[in-house]
Amino acid sequence: MATANSSNILSSTFYLTGIPGYEEFHHWISIPFCLLYLVGIMGNCTILHIVRTDPRLHEPMYYFLAMLSLTDMGMSLPTMISLFRVLWSISREIQFNTCVVQMFFIHTFSFTESSVLLAMALDRYVAICHPLRYATILTPTLITKIGIAALLRSALPVIPLLARLAFFPFCHSHILSHSHCLHQDVIRLACADTKFNVIYGLVLITLLWGMDSLGIFVSYVFILHSVLKISSQEGRFKALNTCASHICAVLILYVPMIGLSIVHRFAKHSSPLIHVFMAHIYLLVPPVLNPIIYSVKTKQIRQGILHLVFPQESVLL
């Protein structure tokens, strides 16, 4: 019976939701989403190409930036196909297995992005507080280990959470609230005791995001302490300016993340549009804005883009 029940669940079909109340405008709504995905993909691919091909950017700060671009795409791309299948009226259906895989990528890369931002905060701490030892501390080997550790730290704890879904019967409505699968949305449809998943999910978020945000905060306390010791105002401004892009990236991830969590936990009966709006902001804003911010605020990235677009003029300059 358990095997039959599990087999039945694994073959379950869920139904995705587009923009509630605006179904007749889905084709038009898909246009700005297409533009956002295009900007995000092109921006992050450009960052990755520039960091890989420009020897001047083979430094810890830019390696971490490349990691951020990879995690941005890893978090947003799994939702792209299901979103456009709904908006273009191709199909609203998504199989249980596909839903679990999509959840795995979304939640894993969401946690990974937070870990990468912590690594970038430590990078700024070493660069400002220990500039003479910067290259010897953050070696390519250590950076590789940090990247692998961030991915494993994010992926492994998610597996037990999603594995338990295979044993839940879904006898309620199979209609999801979004155009993609989220764990907190799927367990809402289960007609079983989901207490473990709810508590485990909250503990996981508190530990991973909480530890990362605390680490980022502590790093900036030490950075600010070192900056205030700089005698010249110009020196203090220059040191803090190197952190501006990272601070923006932290806010871009954590503000929508906190907003989405609050909506799911405390505003369950609010308008479905609010849930959909917050979910899309959370998944689309970081991949779109991070490359733009780093391109505007980082001179080396800006020069790399100019060299990529105007190679002859860049050589002359």
Q: Is the pLDDT of residue 200 over 70?
A: yes
Q: Is the pLDDT of residue 6 over 70?
A: no
Cα–Cα separations (whole angstroms), residue 90 to 11, 18, 81, 94, 317: 20, 12, 11, 12, 50
Report whether 200 contacts 301 (CB < 8 A). no
Pairing of strands 13-15, 93-95: antiparallel
Lowest mean pLDDT among 26-35, 51-60, 116-125, 306-315: 306-315
Report whether 62 contacts 51 (CB < 8 A). yes
Q: Cβ of 109: how many Cβ atoms within 10 Å?
A: 24
Cα–Cα separations (whole angstroms), residue 82 to 76, 105, 193, 251, 285: 11, 14, 29, 27, 18
pLDDT, tens digit, for every residue of 151-178? Answer: 999 999 999 999 998 888 887 778 888 8
pTM of the model: 0.89
CATH architecture under which domain 19-305 falls:
Up-down Bundle (1.20)
Q: Which amino acid, 164? A: R
pLDDT, tens digit, for every residue of 266-275? Answer: 666 677 788 7
Q: What are phi and psi of 48, to 5 degrees?
A: -60, -40
Helix, strand or coil, per DSSP, at residue 93: strand
302 exposure class (CB count in 10 Å sphere: 0-12, 13-18, 19+) = middle
Spatial distance between the Cα atoms of 292 and 296, rounded to a whole number of angstroms: 6
Report whether 169 contacts 10 (CB < 8 A). no
